[in-house]
Amino acid sequence: MIILEAQGYRLELAPDRGGSVLRLDWRGEPLMRPNCGSTIFDVASFPLVPFSNRIARGRFNTGARKGRIAPNFPGSDHPHPLHGFGWLNAWDVVEQSADGAVLEHGYPGGEWPWPYRARQSFQLGAEGFTIALSVTNLGDAPMPAGLGFHPYFPRDAQTVYRGRHRGEWYNTPDCLPSSLDEHEEAIDWWQGRPVDTRAVDTAYTGREGALEIDWPSRGLGVTIAPSDGLTTTVVFSPAGADFFCVEPVSHATDAINRAPETLTWLEPGETAEVGMTISARLLA
């Protein structure tokens, strides 16, 4: 485990556990849900590379390359592999200091027919916790690439999430997109109500501005500022849970089959990078 500290923030990383974040605190208060168990779904956050969310039945055909990815949902035979390969593999520590670290993960090619190198950079400072995630195409043909982050946040009956997006996807029961409800202008789909009032697991498109979470019972909030390439936000708020996920990502679910043009296509040797900053704030 790697521990970083600066400006009241404390970050715990687990390179060998999917390059994940185990805990992010500010002044002793957890900003992400602290690690609560032994599986990858129990960590505070993990990276999404080289794609986000599900690929239907694990099959795709870009014209130049075909792929078939086996189910990868730990402990389940769920038919749609999800979140890429980075979250289920160990990452190497490339750099480390008191307030920052760099991790790398390499994929040689296989089910995903393009080899790549992924890198995460973590930094703590006065602005908060900043993380950058990149992927480089190490193959000899153009590679579609998607990136994102999968943080878990604590939740109680008063927790409020605010994020302005133009569209909300409706899903099939197995969480594949079926239709898009889209507005001309970005709106707050919760309309200021607590997270508990909607149980969803879906993607919101056309993000505008930052994302915010408030915990009135704690007098604390966070602002999540994703980079411009993270145009979509996946929100997972299961009914009755004490957590929810707000996932800034670069594309909607199953984009490689439904809208491959929305992915970033990397030429051999080319790199794509995204990032986000999470800043703590006291509520008035």
pLDDT tens digit sequence for 65-119: 888 999 898 767 788 999 999 999 999 999 999 999 999 999 999 999 999 999 9
* Beta carbons of 161 and 244 less than 8 angstroms apart: yes
pLDDT of residue 64: 82
Q: Which residues contact 99 (CB under 8 A, 6 or more apart)?
A: 4, 5, 6, 123, 124, 125
Average pLDDT over residues 21-44: 96
pLDDT of residue 284: 87
148: which DSSP letter? E
Q: For the domain covering 2-282, report its CATH number.
A: 2.70.98.10
The size of the chain, in residues, is 284
pLDDT of residue 65: 87
pLDDT digits over 126-181, tens only? 999 999 999 999 999 999 999 999 999 999 999 999 999 999 999 999 889 999 99
pLDDT digits over 93-106, tens only? 999 999 999 999 99
Q: In this model, does residue 14 exceed pLDDT 90?
A: yes
Q: Give dist(CA 252, CA 231) in Å, integer.
A: 9
Q: Please list the residues that pair with 224 across neighbouring strands.
A: 211, 278
pLDDT of residue 27: 97
Between the alpha carbon of residue 90 and those of residues 7, 86, 233, 249, 271, the distances in Å are: 29, 8, 26, 21, 21
Please give the mean pLDDT across all residues of the chain. 96
Q: In this model, does residue 234 exceed pLDDT 90?
A: yes
pLDDT digits over 255-275, tens only? 999 999 999 999 999 999 999
pLDDT of residue 63: 84
pLDDT of residue 160: 98
* pLDDT class of 37 with cuts at 50, 70, 90: very high
Q: Give dist(CA 226, CA 229) in Å, integer.
A: 8
pLDDT of residue 238: 95
* Beta carbons of 256 and 265 less than 8 angstroms apart: no
pLDDT of residue 12: 98
Domain ranges of the chain: 2-282
pLDDT of residue 100: 98
pLDDT of residue 73: 82
Write down the pTM of the prediction: 0.96
Q: In this model, does residue 47 exceed pLDDT 90?
A: yes
